Structure 1
Amino acid sequence: MNKNGPIALAFNALVIVFMLAPLVVVCVVAFTPENTLTIPTTHFSLRWFEAVFAHPDFMQSFWNSLWLALSSATIATLLAVPAGMAITRYEFPGRNFLNGLFLSPLIVPHLVLGVALLRLFSLVGGTGSFGWLVLAHALIVTPYTLRLVVAALVGFDRSAEQAALSLGASQATVFRRITLPMILPGVTGGWMLSFINSFDEVTMSIFVTSPSTVTLPVRMYMYATESIDPLMAAVSALMVAVTAFAMMLLDRVYGLDRVLVGRR
């Protein structure tokens, strides 16, 4: 056994505790019966969770975030599947440029994207439009879906496709009956990862949302600038629960280890 094994294990355990401790504290504070951000010492209460569901602004922002994440993740998937197939299967001028173009949102800070999209929306008259907000989120989450689709297509055995084509099946039938089912775990995993990133996005959304399209993370940011009470902890705990549930589904469908490999 490596003599440095226990040291490495202890170091990894400390890193995990350091990363998860703030989340655990926030989730525990959400159950406090007090009016301040304190850890409950006498009993747990659902008071602040009830306050969240009774707060119309937070509920409207939650639905905005939910529909926004569903729409942007779906658009990103519809773009990533044909783009991934083109990048992995064909040699054509500009292939590397196309791949870099789709992945470029990963290297551009969301603050810069937010300012640029705000200027663009003001020029085209799309400021405050939910549709333009969906397109903005689709822009930043498409790289996540594309990476997983490309990972699913790399090393793809095309013998079944070629056999179907030789028997007279059309390209559309081959894609629907053979290709898509075989890469479906990657497509589904990419959709879920895009959903998570869109639902949690705040930096860019601050610039491109309007009073009628405020997302939940932006609403939390706005609320925190005015007051800090356990209501924020309750909202944060709910967001952690939604994200954790989505990550569990992603792990069951695709595997988080494969997601991490695909994002490198």
Structure 2
Amino acid sequence: MQRNGPFALAFNALVVLFMLAPMVIVCIVAFTPESTLTIPTRDFSLRWFRAVFAHPNFMTSFWNSVWLALASASIATAVSVPAAIALTRYDFRARGFLNALFLSPLLVPHLVLGVALLRMFTLIGGTGSFGWLVLAHSLVVTPYALRLVVAALVGFDRSAEHAAQSLGARPATVFTRITLPMILPGVSGGWLLAFINSFDEVTMSIFVTSPATVTLPVRMYMYATESIDPLMAAVSALTIAVTAAAMFLLDRVYGLDRVLIGRG
């Protein structure tokens, strides 16, 4: 095993390099002063970043994505906390069915979800509504929040809860004073992971957005179909930066190793 160590390390390094190379190249291209997609070899410029902030459509779409991610992550977390408590602490007949139902968005391709939600919104007259778009994103990101809250509750020591109940504390008091603070890292981590997935969602959003609610990933897709220039690279670099910052915060709050276990 020790003789294979350097080879395994080299293999892992190559895999990481293969995965990160496209993003690194995009970020480097974003600093080019040229009008074409070229890697700057001598001069670096913030020209295309200034163009992004001066582009009204991209800025509107950015704020649409931010507010959408904030709302959908909050709804997903609010649903995940009581659902996780029910799934981990109570044994009832529909437990397996509810668990599969909450996790089903992970199994269904987002393309299929997008078509189904578009049909449903058309039938109920909700096409183009920001509220329905929030509900659609909440449906997609709820499994991510749920898995982290469940992971936090699985290893939860209930002795403090039992002590509070024996002293006469009401269930609501036990939850707000003891349970929630102790699982808060998992709840916060689930919220952040739901925010990241909502902010980056594009496949389903293409079907359920309207001209007034276009998100940033959808705007990037639409722009790429019309023209390809360094502006696209600058927007991609900014999106990567926002996602990386959220992942760093998630790692500091909950830990990425625990996130991977919770998603398994």
Q: Specify if TM > 0.5.
A: yes
CA distance in 2, matches of 1:182, 1:156: 8
Deviation, 1:100, is 0.5
- Aligned pairs for 1:11-90 (under 5 A) are 11-90=11-90
Post-superposition Cα deviations, 1:112-157, rounded to whole Å, max 9, x if no partner, equal 0000000000011000000000000000000000000000000311
The residue type paired with residue 129 of structure 1 is S
Matched residue, 1:149: 149
Secondary structure of 2:41 counterpart: coil
Post-superposition Cα deviations, 1:46-69, rounded to whole Å, max 9, x if no partner, equal 000000000000000000000000
Where structure 2 has 5 or more consecutive residues not aligned to the other structure, the ranges are: none
- The alignment's C-alpha RMSD in Å is 0.6
Secondary structure of 1:183 counterpart: helix
CA distance in 2, matches of 1:259, 1:2: 29
Deviation, 1:211, is 0.1
Matched residue, 2:200: 200
Deviation, 1:190, is 0.3
CA distance in 1, matches of 2:161, 2:242: 38
Q: Is it true that 1:248 corresponds to 2:248 in the alignment?
A: yes
CA distance in 2, matches of 1:61, 1:160: 46
Q: When the two structures are superposed, what TM-score results if normalisation uses the length of structure 1?
A: 0.99
Post-superposition Cα deviations, 1:199-218, rounded to whole Å, max 9, x if no partner, equal 00000000000000000000
Q: When the two structures are superposed, what TM-score results if normalisation uses the length of structure 2?
A: 0.99
- Aligned pairs for 1:175-214 (under 5 A) are 175-214=175-214
Q: Is it true that 1:128 corresponds to 2:114 in the alignment?
A: no
Secondary structure of 1:41 counterpart: coil
- Aligned pairs for 1:148-167 (under 5 A) are 148-167=148-167
The residue type paired with residue 207 of structure 1 is F
Post-superposition Cα deviations, 1:20-75, rounded to whole Å, max 9, x if no partner, equal 00000000000000000001122110000000000000000000000000000000
Matched residue, 1:263: 263
Q: Is it true that 1:92 corresponds to 2:92 in the alignment?
A: yes
Matched residue, 2:102: 102
CA distance in 2, matches of 1:174, 1:110: 39
The residue type paired with residue 263 of structure 1 is R
CA distance in 1, matches of 2:48, 2:216: 16
Where structure 1 has 5 or more consecutive residues not aligned to the other structure, the ranges are: none
CA distance in 1, matches of 2:136, 2:164: 39
Percent sequence identity is: 81
Deviation, 1:168, is 1.1
How many aligned residue pairs are there?
Answer: 264
